[in-house]
Structure 1
Amino acid sequence: MMTEPLKVLIADDEPLASERLEILLGRMDGVKLVGVAEDGDEAVAKTAELEPDVLLLDIAMPGPDGIEVARKLSRQDNAPAVVFVTAFDQFAVAAFEVAAVDYLMKPVEQTRLDTAIQRARAALAAREEEGDSAKRESESEYLEEFWASDLSGLVRIAACDIERVSAERDYMRLHVGPKSWLIHHSMTALEQGLDPKMFVRLHRSALVRRDFIAGFARNSSGRWVARLADGTEQPVGRIYSDKVREIAAR
């Protein structure tokens, strides 16, 4: 169990944003600010030099952006717990794909930073107990959760709860019962990121959870249509018709 103060590094190219985080950290017990970086390259360099436990990381920065910085650091041993601090909510999915422990929206409030630091501390304690290699082995290779924005802030959506995904231009809509959320992602990336044993692509603009499919039928044009558990129907694209045979053959 960690008893020493958490070493925190701030990486943000906005001086006022960094100063606000410094003030908030100064009001907290059990943390120690070890440095500030102003761009992506400096964030990587200072992480190697200062070995922080927690990195408060902006996303839109000069040089490598925050997502790329986190991706680089995740390949290293003893990587810091990453908390993203940003003014943009559209990066939430990408942020959690690189195993961020939290995602804070600017301007950061004291209570949210307190919560983020607590989550970072818990993540680091779990890493100590399990060991980095054991932790990596236990992690799924597929996406297990998404974070989407709504009027109340950010909401966590478990992948296993998603019934279907529909494309809306550059966004994907995640459907869970009567509710739905938009995320900034591509259909191809979602198809590759979600467990194929759980989800199947039936159309260029639709992914469906396999157990949400109640059956298949032919429409008046002879095309396959998937009947879904909620009573709706999803047309099956011509190039995805083999998926019907695959599912029916099981």
Structure 2
Amino acid sequence: MTEPEPLRVLIADDEPLAAERLQLLLARAEGAQLVGTASDGDSAINLTEALHPDLLLLDIAMPGRDGIAVARALASQCPSPAVVFVTAFDQFAVAAFEVEAVDYLMKPVDPNRLQRALDRTRAYLQQRRTGQQPGQVSQWLEEFWASDLSGLVRIASRDVDRVSAERDYMRLHVGRRSWLIHHSMAALEEGLDPELFVRLHRSAIVRKDFISGFSRNPSGRWIARLSDGTEQPVGRLYSDRVRAIAGR
């Protein structure tokens, strides 16, 4: 069986040490070939137009155009490169997936996590070549990165039981643990798969299979009973979601 051609990768990062680390990781990864590096947004665009890489490993905070602006500018290319964001900040995840990024890596990049991003990119490009809808690969938020005492932890979206708002932050509840992330409730509602999650209150999103039932309180308001034994009041503006889940 013929080995697939390696992915031609361009790195765009204004931090020399971060770019060098990515180069070393790529050299050890399977199925990747570095074709160039850029240190700012404009250079990333110019080099992409000249070198036509398959994949752009793109920092977000850069001089001039940031990574989100670069991704938007390159989207008009035909074919456009796949984009994987590599950043030290988790609050840009929603914006990254809005520009159809294939993946979102947190610094310092884990070698296994980079390999997964390369494999995901190859699948994305294959889907695009065969006429399938590549947006399905990253249409919904698949994971979050949150800070804890040990550094950063990856949380798969499908593992989140519910999300609650705490001022400018959202708390992800997973079993008995929880983490704060810097997102808005509206952005999470748009980014999470509606087949899996439902917004029940202006300050709460719940995974549908985490709901064990519904009841009404004395004033007629719906209350969602959750699998961990807790209850979530349903906002009046969201009562239609109850009927939709219950098939009524």
TM over 0.5: yes
- Pair 1:50 & 2:51 matched: yes
Query: What's the CA shift for 1:202?
Result: 1.5
Indicate the residue corresponding to 2:156 in structure 1: 157
- Measured in 2, the distance between the counterparts of 1:21 and 1:141 equals 22
1:127-171: per-residue Cα shift (whole Å, max 9, x none)? 564443534257168515122224363414133x33222112222
- Measured in 1, the distance between the counterparts of 2:78 and 2:3 equals 18
**Percent identity between the aligned chains?**
60
Match among 95, 101, 118 for residue 99 of structure 1: 101
1:28-60: per-residue Cα shift (whole Å, max 9, x none)? 797554333222232122111111233222111
Indicate the residue corresponding to 1:185 in structure 2: 183
Q: Report if the CA contact (8 A) 1:96-1:146 is conserved.
A: no
Query: What's the CA shift for 1:207?
Result: 1.3
Q: What SS class does the counterpart of residue 90 from structure 1 fall into?
A: helix
- Pair 1:36 & 2:34 matched: no
Query: What's the CA shift for 1:84?
Result: 2.9
The correspondence of residues 11-160 of structure 1 with structure 2, limited to 5 A, is: 11-22=12-23, 32-74=33-75, 76-95=77-96, 98-101=100-103, 103-106=105-108, 112-113=110-111, 116=114, 118-127=115-124, 129-132=126-129, 134-136=131-133, 139=136, 142-149=139-146, 150=148, 151=150, 153-159=152-158
Indicate the residue corresponding to 2:164 in structure 1: 166
Paired residues, what number? 244
Query: What's the CA shift for 1:248?
Result: 4.1
The correspondence of residues 196-207 of structure 1 with structure 2, limited to 5 A, is: 196-207=194-205
Gaps of 5+ in 1: none
Q: What SS class does the counterpart of residue 136 from structure 1 fall into?
A: coil
TM-score (norm. length: structure 1): 0.76
Q: Report if the CA contact (8 A) 1:89-1:105 is conserved.
A: no
Query: What's the CA shift for 1:26?
Result: 6.4
Q: Measured at CA, do residues 76 and 165 of structure 1 come closer, stay the same or move farther in structure 2, by a change above 3 Å? A: farther
- Range moving further from structure 2, 37-46 or 192-201: 192-201
- RMSD across aligned positions (CA): 3.4
Q: What SS class does the counterpart of residue 139 from structure 1 fall into?
A: helix
TM-score (norm. length: structure 2): 0.77
Gaps of 5+ in 2: none
Q: Report if the CA contact (8 A) 1:11-1:58 is conserved.
A: yes
Query: What's the CA shift for 1:103?
Result: 0.7
Q: Measured at CA, do residues 172 and 51 of structure 1 come closer, stay the same or move farther in structure 2, by a change above 3 Å? A: same
